[in-house]
Every structure is written in C-alpha cells, then in structure tokens.
Structure 1
Amino acid sequence: MTGCRRVAAIQDISGLGRCSLTVVIPVLSAMGIQVCPVPTAVLSAHTGYSEFVMRDLTDFMKPALEHYRRMNTEFDCIYSGFLASSEQIDHCLEFFAAYPDALKVVDPVMGDDGKAYATYTDELCGRMGELVAVADIITPNLTEAAILLKEPYPIGTITTSQAKSWLVRLSEQGARIVVITSVNLADGGMHTIGYDKGNNSFWKIKNDYVPAHYSGTGDMFTSVLTGSVLKGDSLPIAMNRATAFTELNVKTTYSYQKHWTEGLMLESQLPWLTGYQELGDYTNL
C-alpha cells in the first residue's frame, strides 16, 4: 500500500469517557494514519460509569471483515483492544488470519491494579493468550502481564532481572515486541519497559509520578506506540514518544482536577503529535 497507512482498530466506542476508539481514532489520525474502526460495541458511557446503555456489535464483526475482503481492502495493521466475549476473540483471530502481512498489535486489556476487570472471566482471560500468540506487538500493563504469565501480581517493586524474565517469557508466547507499562522497578520508580526479540534488546523509560489514573491511558499509549512503529521508529523511540504524549495528557488532565471517568483531555494536546517533540531519556534495562 502507498500513501497513508491504514489500521483496522477492533475496539468498543463509548460516548462519555475518552477511551478505546474515541482515543484511538484522533491519536492515530493526528499521526497521519487512517483508522478504520471495527466497533465491538457501542456504549453511551464506558463501563466505569455507574450506569450506561450498550449495544453489542459482535454480529457486525464477521460481515465487516467479509466486506473488506470482497473490496480487496488492504490494512497495514490490525489493532485489537478491549473485547467483551470469547466470540469476539474468534473474530479478531479471523481478522489477523485474513491479513497475514499486516502488523498485528494486541493490547490485552484485562485488568489493572492487580485485579481483572469484572467483565473478564477466567475463560476470556485465558483466551486472550490466543491473540497474544499471533501478535507482533503486545502492550500489557503489569496486571495483564501477570495474568498472561499466570503469576501472582507483584506487590511493591520488582527487580530488573525479574522484569527481563517476564518480558522474555511473554515474547515466548508469540510476540516479537513486548512492552509492559506501570512497572515499579526496585532500582527506582515507575517505568515502562520493553523487549525486542529480533535483536534481543531491553529498554526502560522512567515515568513521572502523578497521583491519579484515568480511563483510556493504555489506549493512548498503545496508539502512539503503534503509530510510531508504523512510521518507522525504533522500539525505544516509539516507547519514548508514547510515554511522553501520555504523560503530557495525564499532567494536563490532573491540573484541571477532572474525574478519572472523563478520561484524558487529549483534544488540546493533539498538535504535539504533529510538531517538534521533546522526548525524555531511554536506557537499556
């Protein structure tokens, strides 16, 4: 394919609360990448709100793929995020199989803070491993990494050797590139860590601490990382860019003291993705 890169983004879309497709679409679009949403569900507000209405779109996914194939539509990347059922995992696998040359990105959204989300059953968490097995890039947070590895969630800090071991073990499940977010390393502070199996390189980027969390943060990080890789960035540069933009939005949102359910105030920060970018440091893990 020539010209604009094209991504099929398989995620839900929520009216209130910036997350999933309402983050993926503007971020990748600002990076000059076309997003073709494959919505798995439509919600009036994301599931962190006390109430919401939802329309499941599982039965839309297979006909959408069949239509794209009839149209000989090409995709440079298939990118999956939050999924609501085992059947949706089946449809994601069909998308991946239909586009064997596309970059396959799996954000294995399953939980946070040491716990799986209420909608993620043991079966669904177990089947997430099937997507990880065919992915090129996976971006779990530490909770999701523990679930995929069937390890207890680390309380407190983890050592550099343990972090490297987890990265390698996750890559052995299939992915060439593994990035784990929200890792509290014993040698000082919260980090994002990454591993490129192709050249056996390990990387870490220190995260500034902000005493807050917001919906859609992981969606933003993975979207910037994906866009950067599609544009030819190395893994440490892509991690750096994704970390810097996410931190900028977290700090902006925190300054306005917005409730976490509203998500990150990305609208005014999108020009950062198109202009000169002040990046932080990255080092070998």
Structure 2
Amino acid sequence: MTMTAASRTERGQKLRALNWVKQVRNDLTSAEFALQLDQGLSGAESRGAGGKVPGLRRKWRSIDYDSIAVRLESNLRLINEGRVRSLGLDKAVTEEELAELQARLVKTMSDVSAAIVKQDQVDDEERGLRKEKFKQEQALHADTAPVEATNFAVTAPAKVAPPNGSSAQLVNGASAADAPQKGGAKLTPEFGLFVRDDGTVDWDGAIQSGREVARFGKELWERINGQDPVEEELKKSAAGGGGGGGGQLFGAAAKERKPDPPTVQVSRCALPPPPPPPPPLLCAG
C-alpha cells in the first residue's frame, strides 16, 4: 500500500515535470517565431515602395513582447535559482537538456528585450509624426479659413462732387437731398467692395466702376433728379436770350472743372423710362 502511494507520487511529479518542460519549450517556440516574424516585417517594410508598406507597423505592434518576456523571465528565474530540483522538475529532463533550455532562454530573452526597445522607439517616432501632422493641419486650416465679406465693410466719408458747382451727393443711386435723414445726421456713403468667392477683393472692379460714374458728369445728376438735360439747356437759352451762348457756357463750365475720380462704390440706378411713342397720324382720305 505504501509502495503504491509512493509510486503515484513519483508519477505525479514526473508528469508535472514533463508539463513544465513542455511549457518552457512552447514559450521558447512562441518567442522565436515572434522574433522571426518581426524580422520579416522589418525587411518587407524596407523593401516596399518608398521604403514603406502600409499596415506593417500595425501588425508589428500586435506582437505582445511584454507577455512573452514575462513568461521567459519566470522560467529562467526558476532554473537560475535551482528551484527545478527542489520542486522535482528535473525528473523529466537531463542535465544537458536543462543547460540547453537555460541557454535558449538567455538568448531569446535578450532578443525579446531588444525588440521591446525597438518597438518603443518606433511608437515614439509615430507619435511625434502624428503631432507634427496635427500642427501642420492646424496651421493650414488657419491660413485657408474662409473670409467673410462683412470684414471688408468700410465706411468712407467721401463725397462725389458733380461738375458745374453742384454739391449733390449720390447715395445708393439717389441724391443726398432726396435721401431721408434720421436725427439730422449726415449720410455717409458706404464704400462697396466686390468680394469674390475665394474671399479676395476685386479692387480694380470697384475703382473702374467709380470712374465710369464720373464720365456722365452733370447729365447723370440731372437724369437722377428726373430732369432732361436737353430741355433744361433750351430753357436756359430761352431765358438768357440766346441758345448759342447758353450752350457755350454749359460746355465751358463742364470743361472748366473735371471731377476727381470718386472713391465710393455707387449702386446701379434705374434711369426713367423713355416717353411712349406718339400715336400714328391718320391721313384724311
């Protein structure tokens, strides 16, 4: 009965020793395979187009070297401290096999530690690249931010003086005298700017439009006020006693003073419609 119990105890210790040796070999095989896979991925990454192959670093980071190192270190400590014999784990392995396992554990542990350091360096580089890319995107977004048209709304207290001494001021297609005033405040025309879709300002268009307004001279002001310049000239000529003199005076006054190019943007104004044509004459038959 006693021999049977001792035999069972010995068999149990031997099975436990065999299981431990099998576990150590499995840990070594897993670590060596991970290191070979790491070398293959590094070689493929360096041979790829432009030195990079998409997705390889992600696969590389999927190798859990920390867990592998923990298992290898535990097995190596068990052998170095001599606990294999005290636990009876040497019954399933000879001294030569135990020395061979110890040497493999030392070498593999060193390679795994180097792989962990390399992996940490790559992770730090990628974090630095992500931060740099984020800063560049922020700077690019700040440079290409859309510009609102309201940023260019500038008021200019400039006046457009028409020829022939008139002091009328054009505001949105009408004279300042006809425009309503609130609280007795003087109307200040707005300097309208042409803003393109990309946010830039068409200064040439604004200045050119102002010069075109100046070409009309006095006739523009009279038409805006609902007057016909031809009829007014005829009335002045009739009142002065001679049509030619009035015309000459009008021409001289127009040539005498040339208006400065306006500095305000004038809106397009609608001229009064032409008079309807006279009814057709019926000839008596």
TM-score relative to the length of structure 2: 0.18
Kindly indicate which of the two structures has a greater share of residues assigned to helix.
2
Kindly indicate which of the two structures has a greater share of residues assigned to strand.
1
| Structure having the higher Rg | 2
